[in-house]
């Protein structure tokens, strides 16, 4: 059975959201903070939480950031509806659906996780075995609505080395490539943008020029 363009968009969004949230919930309820499972020498499942923007950068208040994400996602959803109605290419629609799904995946963490999970903790003097979070804890969550932290877990330390001593500033320090830790939602956004830039630059240009003319 051939899927319509709208069905493709819905399928992509649902697939990303289900996979993203299922993995995040598993990580939260089975791993303590900063726990790591080595799948291979260059691929780890490493549990960390991101309170801010990409790469953990915190430049804006959490509430503002969450609201901004929601507004941006609503704009992407509106655009997705428009391009489905206009019957743009299936590949282009899938890219936008990936970006939308990734944004929603991380918004769910920000909006709900502070309320539905209690705190995950790394091993310490008081908690030598660490603390694994509980879903829907009787005592309430670790924060309030719109103040949850995004769960990240994919870590690819492909190259581990040390900078030569003669290099200014970084000489002798450890270097890891690739060091960012991310999740399925982040991957969906990155893949969507990458495919757009590589294969749909003409469509993007036409869409941008059309928006300028309408404005």
Tally the residues of the chain.
215
Q: Dihedral (C-alpha) 175, 176, 177, 178: value to the nearest 10 degrees?
A: -140
Check: CB of residue 160 under 8 Å from CB of residue 38: no
Q: Given 20, 109, 118, 186, which residue is catalytic? A: 186
Tell me which DSSP letter residue 113 carries. Answer: I
For tokens 């769910």, name the residue.
Answer: 108
Among residues 20, 109, 118, 152, the one annotated as catalytic is: 152
Q: Which residue is it, tokens 């690739």?
A: 178
Compute the distance between CA of residue 93 and CA of residue 199 in angstroms, rounded to an integer.
13
186 noted as active-site residue? yes
20 a catalytic residue: no
Cβ pair 49, 150 in contact under 8 A: yes
Catalytic residue list: 152, 186
């Amino acid at each position: 059975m051939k899927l319509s363009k709208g069905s493709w968009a819905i399928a992509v969004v649902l697939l990303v959201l289900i996979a993203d949230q299922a993995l995040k919930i598993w990580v939260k309820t089975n791993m303590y903070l900063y726990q790591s499972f080595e799948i291979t020498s260059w691929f780890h499942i490493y549990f960390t939480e991101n309170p801010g923007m990409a790469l953990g950068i915190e430049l804006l208040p959490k509430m503002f950031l969450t609201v901004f994400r929601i507004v941006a996602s609503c704009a992407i959803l509106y655009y997705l509806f428009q391009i489905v109605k206009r019957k743009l290419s299936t590949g282009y629609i899938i890219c936008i659906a990936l970006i939308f799904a990734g944004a929603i995946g991380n918004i769910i963490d920000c909006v709900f996780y502070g309320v539905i999970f209690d705190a995950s903790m790394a091993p310490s003097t008081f908690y030598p075995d660490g603390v694994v979070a509980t879903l829907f804890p009787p005592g309430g969550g670790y924060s309030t609505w719109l103040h949850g932290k995004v769960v990240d877990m994919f870590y690819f330390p492909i190259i581990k080395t040390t900078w030569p001593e003669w290099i200014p500033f970084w000489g002798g320090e450890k270097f890891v490539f690739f060091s960012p830790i991310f999740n399925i939602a982040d991957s969906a956004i990155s893949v969507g943008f990458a495919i757009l830039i590589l294969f749909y630059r003409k469509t993007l240009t036409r869409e941008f020029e059309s928006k300028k003319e309408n404005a």
